[in-house]
């Protein structure tokens, strides 16, 4: 759909909120901002309105949590998204509402789902690593968990971001902010196993430096990771509703449970809005690595 078409729908949706739903100016502004968040996600995924499915919307919601948005705000955004798709359905832009089964978080309950160490192990055991796709997928899961990465940080990871001899990877997070994150020996071993297959691939132009490739030779997409994680969880009989973000949350939860410094965890997750240089001016990077070595279960021998 063209930019002009999207602008036209946005205009019509705002009129729908004002004229048909009789919402207050503040509510109209909130709903249109929620729509803008969704449109930005759709643009990143190269989606039209008709392409959006429940799985895509669940990935969108997972990213909201990844940004640190609380459950109450997520519930409000989902309400806005449901309103928008209801409008699209009523006006004939789509034939079915993909948000119909999208669940709203229960306010005041526990934080987003995390996995136990045994559940993570079961998911990894469900992967056939004798194939290049299997080894790639197992490596992706291990790096997500061992380093606490956002899915976008993983899919954009380049060979030039690896400093494995030093035990770190460079990560570019939100707002192009960079940080160094310690990487476990287990994740390094999985990466080395995957490199055997990666060297045999022919990347498309522009993807030569990307680590995790699809079979087409381009950077693996976030939705592809979302789907195979769901598939392996089902094979492992893990009943929790998980996404790539679940491994990031598990990373932080397991470190906290084992007494890691909360400041170190915040820095490793990239929640502080300061540059890598500023981070390591105030906190020695070897201390961050030691927090991982001492507290992350992947480093227990």
Residues 260 and 122 in one domain: yes
Residues 57 and 137 in one domain: no
CA distance 249 to 150: 10
Per-residue pLDDT of 145-167, as tens digits, reads 999 999 999 999 999 999 999 99
Radius of gyration of the chain (CA): 21
How many domains are there within the chain? 2
Residues 86 and 29 in one domain: yes
Last residue of a domain, one of 75, 90, 105: 90
Domain range enclosing 64: 3-90
The pTM for the full model equals 0.60
In a domain, 106, yes or no: no
pLDDT at 144 > cutoff 60: yes
Per-residue pLDDT of 240-278, as tens digits, reads 989 998 998 888 878 877 777 767 777 788 875 333 223
Residues 37 and 169 in one domain: no
CA distance 152 to 172: 9
Residues 129 and 71 in one domain: no
**How many CA atoms are closer than 13 Å to the CA of 81, on its beta-carbon side?**
30
Catalytic residues: 150, 174, 245, 248, 271, 280
Per-residue pLDDT of 6-31, as tens digits, reads 558 888 999 999 988 888 888 888 88
Inter-residue contact 75 to 27 (CB < 8 Å): no
């Amino acid at each position: 759909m063209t930019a002009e078409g999207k602008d036209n729908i946005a205009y019509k949706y705002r009129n729908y909120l004002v004229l048909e739903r009789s919402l207050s100016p503040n509510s109209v502004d909130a709903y249109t901002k929620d729509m803008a968040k969704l449109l930005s996600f759709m643009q990143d995924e190269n989606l039209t309105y008709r392409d959006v499915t429940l799985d895509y919307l669940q990935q969108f919601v997972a990213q909201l949590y990844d940004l640190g948005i609380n459950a109450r705000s997520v519930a409000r955004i989902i309400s806005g998204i449901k309103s928008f798709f209801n409008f699209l359905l009523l006006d004939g832009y789509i034939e079915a509402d993909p948000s119909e089964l999208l669940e709203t978080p229960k306010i005041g309950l526990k934080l987003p789902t995390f996995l136990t160490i045994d559940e993570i192990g079961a998911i990894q055991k469900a992967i056939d690593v004798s194939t290049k796709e299997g080894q790639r997928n197992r490596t992706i899961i291990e790096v997500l968990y061992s380093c606490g990465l956002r899915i976008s940080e993983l899919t954009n990871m380049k060979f030039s971001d690896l400093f494995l001899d030093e035990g770190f990877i460079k990560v570019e997070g939100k707002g192009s902010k960079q940080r160094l994150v310690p990487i476990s020996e287990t994740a390094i071993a999985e990466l080395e196993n995957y490199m055997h297959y990666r060297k045999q691939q022919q990347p498309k132009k522009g993807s030569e430096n990307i680590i995790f490739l699809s079979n087409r030779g381009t950077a693996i997409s976030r939705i592809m990771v979302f789907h195979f994680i769901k598939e392996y969880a089902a094979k492992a009989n893990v009943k929790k509703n998980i996404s790539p973000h679940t491994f990031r949350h598990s990373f932080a939860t397991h470190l906290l449970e084992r007494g890691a410094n909360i400041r170190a965890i915040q820095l490793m997750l990239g929640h502080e809005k300061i540059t890598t240089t500023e981070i390591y001016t105030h906190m020695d990077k070897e201390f961050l690595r030691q927090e991982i070595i001492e507290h992350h279960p992947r480093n227990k021998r």
